[in-house]
Amino acid sequence: MKKSQLIYIIVLPIYFLLGNIEVKSQFLIDQDTFLNPKSIYQKAQISNVGSENLKIEDFLEKQDSFDFKAISGPNTNLGFTKDNFWLKFKIQNTANKTLSLFFETGRPITDIIELHQIDQAGTIISQVTGDLLPFSEKPLSHRKMIFPIELEANQEYEFYVQYQSDGEVINLPLELHSANSLILTSYKEQLVFGLFYGILLLAGTIYLFFYFGIKEKSFLLYFTYVLSIALLHLSLDGYFFQYFTPDAGWISRNAVLLAAAFSTLAFGSYVQVYMKVSNFSPVLNKIYNSLHICVIALITAIFFIRSVVEFYYPLVNLFGILLLFLIIGTLIVSIRKNAAPDIFFSVGLFFFFAGFLVFILNNFSVIPNSFITENASKFGTGLEIIFLSLSMANRIRILKSEKEKMQGIALQRSQESNEIKSFFLSNISHELRTPLNAVIGLSKSIQESTEDQKIKSDLEVIQYSSLGLLSAIDDIFDYSKIEKKELKLEERQLEISKVIQELRTITDNQVKNKKLKFIYEEINQLPKYIIGDKARIRQIILNVLNNAVKFTQDGEVKLSINSVLQKNDTVNLNIIVQDTGVGIDKEKLDRIYESFIQEQIDDKRKFGGFGLGLCIVKALVELYEGKIEISSEQGKGTKVQIDLNFKVPSRDQKLPSSPLVNGDYDLEGKHILIVEDNPVNQMVMKSILRKWKNTSFDIANHGLEALDKLKASHFDLILMDLQMPEMDGYEATEAIRKGEAGSKYQNIPIIAVTADATDKAKSKVKAVGMDDYMTKPVDKDELYTKIQHAFYLVKVDLSGVL
Ligand code: ADP
């Protein structure tokens, strides 16, 4: 601390106590080039003349009747006042030249200040300034209350200054400036003020943007608080008057009052929301609300009740101080209740209190005047805003981590619900396939054994409807797989012409019922075998063909296939399905692959269908890296073009894809073990195998029984259900592969026959060592092919070993 400051600390209270010291000597000055302003307060005296608004001449006459007191400090505060004050002092120019100086007489928001300069000849020069006059009429165009004065060589002057206020505080800086010191002080202030307002502007705008980004209320309140603080300081510093309301008037006169009231309101609301006061103390929350109501009442009074304006200044300060204590109380309670705000917020508040304290102590001259103490509230507020900004940034981090946590929970939930969905779907498919298996299998079996034509055709209807139901189940199941990106293709050799033949038969039957014409055209002869997924290829073409038949009332449906052999053993199949049906309108065509769209719902009522077909077709075509194009004209018909590439097996690779010779089912003396717990499924299996030549079989009800049967007699192949009591298909297979049924069975062909069509089941089947997999309802041709295939592979395997 400087020596001079120490002296102030010791001397000032004494001044303050003595109060009334006669000051007689004048202020001597001999130059106008000094760099630091000079305070004349020690040479000045002040008198409160009450409500009297005297002219200088009247004052001079009456002045002896007034009680003059010495000034207690360099920036004395006269308090909230409506009275008129007169200040007097003498200055003597001891230099031999005229000195041009500037006299700062009051804080920037003083209402009216009159300065009267009287020379030794008794000539009076009067000037007036204040924020009740337009800015342009100020004697010096500066935000502060400054009068330019001229002191002639070796002359002594008496100065009289009159202060008028409508209730605001009057401060007495009383500084004499040279042009140099005025410029230097202004620059220094400009730097600090620039920083201060810059911080407010940045903090305010950034958090306003954040508010728009995350819509969190505390950010908007913070912005409002920063804005009101900026307004308050702009008014106190005189900038608001200078730049926003230079013509003076109502707003200019009340700017400080309103800004102070708004900042109390904004700060209180911000703290209340930021600290979530209502959560830990409803009582404190009520106090905040009451205080806010008082402030709002004050704001309303400022606008409408002008007769008691002088009370508003102390009142708004009182509310400010109350808020200060309320915040301290809130902090203490929040710490006690374990709801303390973060450290940045607390440090921010600390700076706010510290700045405020220094400002008040300085106002009461308890601590000496200096650039720092005078601007204490600016430093305090600036640091407060910086720390509150940090705390808001911290809040963003907390909100983000809360959001991430919520997202984590949501993700976990969606994973769980996905798992439930998968389980549900596989269960549904299992539960629906098992009875369908029985319906299809047994009706086929009866159909083959009966001669009654009526029964035969009724059974055909049953089968047709069951197959429709089965394909609907498959569609739902496939759709869920597409959603989960789990749809995969098998790569097996297949006889494509047979698949096409089958599709032609189905379509022929369908068009017959609707009296349509079905045309098939094969532009180049198809290769005998291709490598692909038979079921999926069938599904692609059948879906499109079904749509063509479904949406055509009369005319024809045409399927044409062109195959072009390419290099690298591949074949390009160009499949075109054309109809003369209702067609598709253009808007709908653009969204044709989307499932469940509104237009489709309307069609559904007319034509039926899940609205999944084309969505699945497109996904499958994309899996084959092929192309699908649909063109259509409403009322004229639709054309679907599909372009797919398949590998063709080279000659020596070819496997017997269909071991059926002349429609004979002959297993040449093989003994099969059927492991199946469901009696209906057992019946279906029996009814199929019984009709095959040279085929014998036995049935085990579960895995354990299967192991026993294997130990007791000889089997060539096992058809294994998966879900069974006692020991399921997976466990039984593992036991067999480990040799628990005897080492000779370790490589026995095992084919899974299951209603579980999930990929999970398929891959588990492979993992436990089964040779093949087929789904129920059992198709006898597929079963026969799979069995033949299994035997063939064993043969190839063995020949490889030998
Ligand atoms: P759906 O199971 O309802 O047939 P799709 O995905 O196969 O579902 O077809 C979606 C919609 O596209 C159908 O509901 C129908 O409105 C239209 N659509 C498909 N193919 C044709 C066609 N050949 N002629 C007219 N409209 C068609």
3-state DSSP assignment of residue 782: helix
Domain-located, residue 431 = no
Residue 554 near residue 516 (C-beta atoms within 8 A): yes
200 burial via Cβ count (<10 Å: 0-12, 13-18, 19+): buried
For residue 579, give the H/E element and its range. strand 570-579
Atom of ligand 1 nearest to the CA of 581: 24
Residue 149 near residue 90 (C-beta atoms within 8 A): no
What spacing in Å lies between the alpha carbon of 710 and ligand 1's midpoint? 51
| pLDDT, tens only, 684-725 | 888 889 888 889 999 999 999 999 999 998 999 999 999 888
For residue 601, give the H/E element and its range. helix 598-607
Atom of ligand 1 nearest to the CA of 543: 7
Would the CB of 351 count as within 6 Å of ligand 1? no
CATH number for the domain that contains residue 353: 1.20.1070
Same domain, 141 and 285: no
Residue 60 near residue 77 (C-beta atoms within 8 A): no
Enter the tokens of residue 356. Answer: 């405020």
Of 75, 190, 176, 184, nearest in space to 143 by CA: 190
Domain-located, residue 738 = yes
Sign of CA dihedral 81, 82, 86, 91: positive
Length of the chain: 802
What spacing in Å lies between the alpha carbon of 624 and ligand 1's midpoint? 22
Over 80: is that where the pLDDT of 2 sits? no
What are the DSSP calls for 412-457, one per residue?
HHHHHHHHHHHHHHHHHHHHHHHHHHHHHHHHHHHHHH---HHHHH
What spacing in Å lies between the alpha carbon of 582 and ligand 1's midpoint? 10
**pLDDT confidence tier of residue 639, bands split at 50, 70 and 90:** very high
Tell me the C-alpha distance between 786 and 643, whole Å: 29
Residue 57 near residue 125 (C-beta atoms within 8 A): no
Over 50: is that where the pLDDT of 798 sits? no
If you take atom 20 of ligand 1, which residue's CA is the nearest one? 547
What spacing in Å lies between the alpha carbon of 615 and ligand 1's midpoint? 10
3-state DSSP assignment of residue 518: strand
Over 50: is that where the pLDDT of 389 sits? yes
Average pLDDT over residues 101-118: 94
Enter the tokens of residue 701. Answer: 């009800």
For position 426, what pLDDT does the model report? 64
What single-letter DSSP state applies at residue 242? I
For position 793, what pLDDT does the model report? 63
Q: Which residues contact 554 (CB under 8 A, 6 or more apart)?
A: 515, 516, 580
Enter the tokens of residue 236. Answer: 């106190």
Over 80: is that where the pLDDT of 164 sits? yes
Domain-located, residue 125 = yes
Tell me the C-alpha distance between 201 and 207, whole Å: 10
Q: Which residues contact 109 (CB under 8 A, 6 or more apart)?
A: 131, 168, 235, 236, 238, 241, 256
Average pLDDT over residues 651-671: 63
First to last CA, the chain: 105
What share of the chain in percent tops pLDDT 90? 45
What spacing in Å lies between the alpha carbon of 639 and ligand 1's midpoint? 12
Same domain, 61 and 155: yes
For position 758, what pLDDT does the model report? 75
Average pLDDT over residues 635-648: 93
What spacing in Å lies between the alpha carbon of 600 and ligand 1's midpoint? 7
| Structural domain boundaries, residue 93 | 27-177
Of 314, 322, 313, nearest in space to 292 by CA: 322
Over 90: is that where the pLDDT of 353 sits? no
Enter the tokens of residue 120. Answer: 């030794």
pTM: 0.55
581 burial via Cβ count (<10 Å: 0-12, 13-18, 19+): buried
Same domain, 171 and 191: no
For position 1, what pLDDT does the model report? 43
Over 80: is that where the pLDDT of 530 sits? yes
Average pLDDT over residues 514-534: 88
Tell me the C-alpha distance between 249 and 246, whole Å: 9
Domain-located, residue 491 = yes
Domain-located, residue 416 = no
Same domain, 559 and 618: yes
Mark which of 154, 177, 200 sits at the end of a domain: 177
Over 90: is that where the pLDDT of 460 sits? no
Q: For the chain, what is the domain count?
A: 4
Phi-psi region of 669 (alpha: psi -120 to 50; beta: other; left: phi over 0): left
Residues linked to residue 101 through DSSP beta bridges, in sequence order: 149
Same domain, 196 and 316: yes
For position 23, what pLDDT does the model report? 44
| pLDDT, tens only, 170-213 | 888 899 999 999 999 999 989 989 999 999 999 899 889 989 98
Tell me the C-alpha distance between 633 and 590, whole Å: 13
Would the CB of 695 count as within 6 Å of ligand 1? no
Over 80: is that where the pLDDT of 753 sits? yes
Residues linked to residue 661 through DSSP beta bridges, in sequence order: 664
Would the CB of 756 count as within 6 Å of ligand 1? no
CATH number for the domain that contains residue 642: 3.30.565.10
Tell me the C-alpha distance between 753 and 682, whole Å: 11
* Mutate-to-test residue for ligand 1 from 518, 544, 547, highest number of ligand atoms within 8 A of CB: 547
Mark which of 345, 373, 407 sits at the end of a domain: 407
Q: Which residues contact 304 (CB under 8 A, 6 or more apart)?
A: none
Domain-located, residue 236 = yes
Would the CB of 579 count as within 6 Å of ligand 1? yes
Over 70: is that where the pLDDT of 19 sits? no
Same domain, 196 and 162: no
Same domain, 376 and 492: no
What spacing in Å lies between the alpha carbon of 315 and ligand 1's midpoint? 77
Average pLDDT over residues 353-365: 73
* Mutate-to-test residue for ligand 1 from 469, 543, 551, 631, highest number of ligand atoms within 8 A of CB: 551
Over 50: is that where the pLDDT of 678 sits? yes
Residue 621 near residue 644 (C-beta atoms within 8 A): yes
CATH number for the domain that contains residue 701: 3.40.50.2300
Residue 531 near residue 573 (C-beta atoms within 8 A): no
Tell me the C-alpha distance between 789 and 590, whole Å: 44
Residue 779 near residue 758 (C-beta atoms within 8 A): no
* Mutate-to-test residue for ligand 1 from 507, 600, 617, highest number of ligand atoms within 8 A of CB: 600
**pLDDT confidence tier of residue 307, bands split at 50, 70 and 90:** confident
Would the CB of 546 count as within 6 Å of ligand 1? no
3-state DSSP assignment of residue 180: helix
Atom of ligand 1 nearest to the CA of 612: 6
Q: What average pLDDT does the structure give for the chain?
A: 85
Q: Does residue 694 or residue 98 have the better pLDDT?
A: 98
What spacing in Å lies between the alpha carbon of 500 and ligand 1's midpoint? 21
**pLDDT confidence tier of residue 794, bands split at 50, 70 and 90:** low
What spacing in Å lies between the alpha carbon of 571 and ligand 1's midpoint? 28
For position 621, what pLDDT does the model report? 93
Average pLDDT over residues 559-574: 89
| pLDDT, tens only, 473-518 | 777 777 777 777 777 788 888 889 888 988 998 898 888 878 889 9
Enter the tokens of residue 687. Answer: 């009814």
Domain-located, residue 437 = no
Average pLDDT over residues 381-389: 87
Q: Is the peptide bond before 13 cis (omega within 30 degrees of 0)?
A: no
Same domain, 331 and 286: yes
Would the CB of 592 count as within 6 Å of ligand 1? yes
Mean pLDDT lowest for which of 320-324, 663-667, 697-701? 663-667
For position 149, what pLDDT does the model report? 96
Query: What is the 3-class SS of 490-509, one letter each residue?
Result: CCEEEEHHHHHHHHHHHHHH
Same domain, 636 and 685: no
Residue 514 near residue 542 (C-beta atoms within 8 A): no
For position 789, what pLDDT does the model report? 83
What are the CA-CA distances from residue 321 to residues 233, 260, 274, 330, 333 (Å)?
17, 12, 20, 14, 18
Same domain, 553 and 677: no
Chain centroid to CA 736? 55
Over 80: is that where the pLDDT of 464 sits? no
Tell me the C-alpha distance between 66 and 49, whole Å: 7
| pLDDT, tens only, 35-93 | 999 999 999 999 999 888 899 999 999 988 999 999 888 878 888 888 999 999 999 99
Same domain, 323 and 209: yes
For position 473, what pLDDT does the model report? 79
Enter the tokens of residue 531. Answer: 């490598």
Domain-located, residue 413 = no
Would the CB of 600 count as within 6 Å of ligand 1? yes
Atom of ligand 1 nearest to the CA of 595: 6
Cβ neighbours, 10 Å, residue 583: 20
Over 90: is that where the pLDDT of 729 sits? yes
Same domain, 269 and 294: yes
If you take atom 23 of ligand 1, which residue's CA is the nearest one? 548
Mark which of 124, 155, 177 sits at the end of a domain: 177
